[in-house]
């Protein structure tokens, strides 16, 4: 009998390669498990019925003696805003509830070519706006460790699907922490790649200068496997770049790690304990850990919550009831727009559209959006200086473990503060990884931040850390 908790992509590949299990059997095991658990957790919005058919096709290829692809037979879950041709991509919103994708996102195309099998689409905060998946139009996702608590957001469904053994890995998107924070809350690994490292073509855009697709997995090695398949330049995304292998220096035995200085009083004791534990582990591994202060990082959250709503309000203008999605008829075209958007968008999406249109409006543009972009440049420069001194930066992922469902829904500011340690990474376009650390009853993750395009450092240290933390 396969122990799903210990099964990784690499181990599953070995089982398929040796003939101990077929692709169809592996898909069947995961489908049975997720169907049992999903009614309580609500990680999946839809389980695809063609997964068996695709798995059988893969098995036929194996019987013919065809060489196995990097992800042959590996069951994945996909966040509900990444387009899969012919499948619904609702972005967790009523306005796109019946919208079927006309083409594959570039990451989906690459995963299909690598032999992956998609089990279904996962729940999320509507249009990725939220830190708890409570803003989904289709109900919240619950934390597999405690059903009274949130799974995090906005990729809560993707993180919960991996944590509940409902898939081997999943894809999420990260605009201000939406991969790393749910990974931390659900005790799994979450990678936010460098901006431009992974194509965003086929991702329903929220904030185009911040969004990034990345993997959520059970191990650092699995995150590396998926990342290496989905990374690279794409002619359909002008912001994507080709990886330069010359950027990677030779690995060092001892890394210089900067511990981000933060107000420990504003952070839960369990999170501070997890950081202290991580420092001990890193020093035992022979790495140097010293405190570092970034002068402008305290402005990250207000800066983010000006830029992100501004870009979101522009991106969401396309949902007007004319081109695609929900369409509610009024007396004239303007009333069509107003009725469709009033009915189709949820409360948080409306809030951010209003914030965004306000900061972009005449007379306020320079005062808010223009100034926020200048602060963003200062934050980026702070990181550049820090990486002249340190190889990596260590920080908490979130100020608390998973909070209770409903605890912060009436106070948007408290909810936004969940992103306090993650948004600076997106503003600067850096790569970062969330790793499970906690020894308390609820999962807690720590975050490593690397220089631009140095995902290799995150994987190298992540594997060392993972081994030491488990041992």
Q: Known catalytic residues?
A: 79, 154, 178
Distances (CA, A) of 293 to 296, 380, 395: 9, 14, 11
Token look-up 């990260």 returns: 174
Return the ∠ at Cα 209 (arms to 348 and 339), rounded to 5°: 35
Look up residue 132 and give its two tokens. 């708890």
Query: Angle 269-284/455-470 helices, nearest 10 degrees?
Result: 100
Picking from 125, 122, 140, 90, the residue whose alpha carbon sits closest to that of residue 216 is 122
Cα-based torsion angle of the residue sequence 8, 13, 15, 21 in order, rounded to the nearest 10 degrees = 100
Phi/psi of residue 116, nearest 5 degrees: -70, 155
Look up residue 427 and give its two tokens. 């503003």
**CA–CA separation, 26 vs 72, rounded Å?**
11
Cα Rg, the chain, nearest whole Å? 21
- 10 Å CB burial of residue 69 (0-12, 13-18, 19+) is middle
Q: What number of CA atoms fall less than 13 Å from residue 12's CA on the CB side?
A: 34
Number of C-beta neighbours around residue 313 at 10 A: 20
**CA–CA separation, 44 vs 34, rounded Å?**
8
Report yes or no: 23 and 72 within 8 Å, Cβ to Cβ. Answer: yes
Return the ∠ at Cα 191 (arms to 296 and 176), rounded to 5°: 40
């Amino acid at each position: 009998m396969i122990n799903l908790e210990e099964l990784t992509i690499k181990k599953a590949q070995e089982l398929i390669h040796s003939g101990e299990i077929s692709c169809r059997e592996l898909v069947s095991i995961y489908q049975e498990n997720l169907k049992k658990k999903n009614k309580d957790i609500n990680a999946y919005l839809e389980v695809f019925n063609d997964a068996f058919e695709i798995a059988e096709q893969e098995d036929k290829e194996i019987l013919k003696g065809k060489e196995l692809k990097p992800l042959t037979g590996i069951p994945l879950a996909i966040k509900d805003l990444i387009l899969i041709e012919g499948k619904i991509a609702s972005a967790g919103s009523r306005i796109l509830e019946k919208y079927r994708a006309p083409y594959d996102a570039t990451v989906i195309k690459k995963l299909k070519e690598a032999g992956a099998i998609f089990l279904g689409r996962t729940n999320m905060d509507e249009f990725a706006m939220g830190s708890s998946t409570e803003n989904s139009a289709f109900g919240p996702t619950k934390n597999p460790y405690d059903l009274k608590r949130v799974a995090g957001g906005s990729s809560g469904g993707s993180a919960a699907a991996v944590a509940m053994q409902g898939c081997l890995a999943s894809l999420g998107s990260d605009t201000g922490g939406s991969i790393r924070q749910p990974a931390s809350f659900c005790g799994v690994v979450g990678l936010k790649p460098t901006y431009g490292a992974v194509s965003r073509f086929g991702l329903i855009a929220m904030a185009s200068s911040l969004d990034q697709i990345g993997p959520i997995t059970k191990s650092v090695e699995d995150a590396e496997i998926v990342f290496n398949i989905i990374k690279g330049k794409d002619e359909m995304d002008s912001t994507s770049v080709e990886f330069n292998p010359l950027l990677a220096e030779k690995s060092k035995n001892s890394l210089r790690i900067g511990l981000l200085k933060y107000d420990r009083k504003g952070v839960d004791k369990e999170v501070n304990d997890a950081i202290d534990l991580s420092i001990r582990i890193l020093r035992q591994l022979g790495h140097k850990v010293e405190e570092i202060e970034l002068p402008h990082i305290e402005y990250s959250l207000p800066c983010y919550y000006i830029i992100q709503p501004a870009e979101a309000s522009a991106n969401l203008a396309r949902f007007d009831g004319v081109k695609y999605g929900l369409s509610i008829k009024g007396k004239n075209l303007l009333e069509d727009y107003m009725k469709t958007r009033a009915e189709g968008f949820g409360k948080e999406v409306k809030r951010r559209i209003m914030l965004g249109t306000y900061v972009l409006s005449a007379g306020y543009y320079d005062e808010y959006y223009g100034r926020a972009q200048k602060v963003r440049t200062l934050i980026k420069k702070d990181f550049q200086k820090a990486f002249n001194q340190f190889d990596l930066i260590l920080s908490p992922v979130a100020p608390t473990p998973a909070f209770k469902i409903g605890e912060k829904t009436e106070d948007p500011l408290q909810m936004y503060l969940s992103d306090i340690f993650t948004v600076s990474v997106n503003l600067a376009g850096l790569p970062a990884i969330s790793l499970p650390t906690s020894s308390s009853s609820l999962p807690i993750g720590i975050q490593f931040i690397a220089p631009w395009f140095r995902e290799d450092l995150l994987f190298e240290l992540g594997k060392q850390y993972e081994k030491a933390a488990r041992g």
